């Protein structure tokens, strides 16, 4: 079976969704892969062995131009993020977040035409009312890093929101991430491994991949109390409560090693291999319903 992956929305840098595409489809065995790339999509998103085709659009192009892009109709299934969806091949739409209001109507029209919907968490599935969506979570790809933690606080993706009150702790505050303060993933892992505590100030979240990765590295994590964090991270991070970010960060800095070890085990249970098995089950169900045939 040939799986076509619409990766034209992943620019340079590719962001979390692009990194997910590489890891998830790279862990999925037994299928042929065709990655459709924009002119500015980096090869970082393509797993080894996948066929690649460049299409005449840039990921940074205006939305109207990107939506008018004619995708090739080859493949037994087409995977795409949010939109567009096609009648052929049958399209599987992946939802990564809970949606921005001005795009929800547009995306819902594509969801209605899709052969199936995949959500990265049950929180996202419920936010879209996609009751029949397959939940295929992200994984973590961290390895043990022999880096002694420093004395500083690391704020990841600071563009997502403020962390008021943390400077009162008298610690150095550094910033990094995949947003405006973009750094490559391996360097981000090193930065998180060196921090005394990692703070993720999201105002909205569909999964919480960075926070999960920080936990997998054994660092105490501070996050706002959001449904996706509760679903994915459980009770392992330090949630911002009435005392604010400063109080939550102080608790994180005093975290006992047993709690950090439990959080690390929980986070490392999210593997790309397990995610790929969930995706395989979704593919088999869609194939059964649509009458797709396995082949090369």
Taking a C-beta distance cutoff of 8 angstroms, is the pair 28, 103 a contact?
no
pLDDT at res. 178:
65
Q: How many residues does the chain have?
A: 296
- Extract the tokens encoding 218: 């054994």
pLDDT at res. 276:
98
Domain 153-268 - what CATH class?
A: alpha beta
Cα 6 to Cα 17: distance, rounded to the nearest angstrom: 12
- Per-residue CA distances from 61 to 8, 9, 58, 65, 66 (Å): 10, 9, 5, 6, 6
**Which of 26, 59, 71, 31 minimizes the C-alpha distance to 45?**
26
- Extract the tokens encoding 9: 């929305």
Tens of pLDDT along the chain (296 residues)?
Answer: 999 999 998 887 788 889 899 999 999 999 999 999 999 998 989 999 999 999 988 888 776 676 777 888 888 999 998 666 566 788 999 999 987 766 777 788 778 888 999 999 999 999 999 999 999 999 998 888 888 888 999 999 888 888 999 999 999 999 987 655 677 888 899 999 999 999 999 988 999 999 999 999 999 999 999 999 999 999 999 999 888 999 999 999 999 999 999 999 999 999 999 999 999 999 999 988 876 544 33
Ranges for all domains in the chain classified under CATH 3.40.50.2000? 2-139+272-290, 153-268
Taking a C-beta distance cutoff of 8 angstroms, is the pair 34, 75 a contact?
yes
Cα 78 to Cα 95: distance, rounded to the nearest angstrom: 14
Cα 283 to Cα 221: distance, rounded to the nearest angstrom: 34
According to CATH, the superfamily of the domain at 2-139+272-290 is Glycogen Phosphorylase B; (3.40.50.2000)
Taking a C-beta distance cutoff of 8 angstroms, is the pair 167, 152 a contact?
no
The DSSP result for 102-160, as a single string, is HHHHHHHHHHHH-SEEEESSHHHHHHTT-TT-EE---------------S-EEEESGGG
Taking a C-beta distance cutoff of 8 angstroms, is the pair 108, 34 a contact?
no
Taking a C-beta distance cutoff of 8 angstroms, is the pair 55, 40 a contact?
no
Bridge partners of residue 153, in order along the sequence? 173, 197
What is residue 273's three-state secondary structure? Answer: helix
The residue written with tokens 């090193």 in the block is: 190
The residue written with tokens 């390895």 in the block is: 143
Predicted structure pTM score: 0.91
């Amino acid at each position: 079976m040939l799986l076509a992956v619409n990766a034209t929305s992943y620019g340079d840098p590719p962001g979390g969704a692009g990194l997910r595409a590489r890891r998830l489809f790279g862990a999925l065995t037994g299928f042929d892969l065709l990655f459709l790339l924009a002119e500015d999509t980096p090869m970082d998103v393509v797993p080894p062995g996948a066929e690649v085709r460049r299409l005449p659009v840039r990921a940074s192009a205006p939305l109207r131009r990107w939506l008018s892009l004619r995708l090739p109709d080859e493949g037994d299934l087409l995977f795409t993020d949010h939109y567009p969806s096609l009648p052929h091949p049958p399209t599987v739409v992946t939802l990564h977040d809970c949606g921005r209001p001005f795009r929800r109507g547009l995306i819902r029209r594509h969801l209605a035409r899709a052969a199936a919907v995949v959500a990265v968490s049950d929180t996202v599935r419920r936010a879209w009312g996609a009751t029949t969506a397959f939940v295929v979570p992200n994984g973590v790809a961290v390895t043990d890093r022999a880096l002694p933690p420093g004395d500083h606080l690391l704020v990841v993706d600071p563009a997502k929101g403020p962390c008021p009150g943390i400077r009162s702790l008298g610690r150095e505050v550094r910033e990094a991430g995949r947003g405006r303060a973009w750094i490559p993933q391996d360097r981000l892992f090193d930065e998180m491994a060196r921090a005394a505590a990692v703070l993720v100030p999201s105002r909205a979240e569909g999964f919480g991949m960075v926070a999960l990765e920080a936990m997998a590295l054994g660092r105490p994590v501070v996050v706002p109390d959001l449904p996706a964090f509760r679903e994915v991270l459980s009770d392992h991070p330090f949630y911002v409560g009435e005392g604010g970010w400063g109080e939550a960060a102080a608790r994180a800095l005093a975290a006992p090693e047993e709690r950090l070890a439990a959080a690390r085990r929980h986070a490392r249970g999210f593997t790309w291999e397990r995610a790929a098995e969930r995706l395989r089950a979704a593919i088999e169900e869609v194939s059964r319903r649509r009458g797709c045939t396995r082949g090369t």
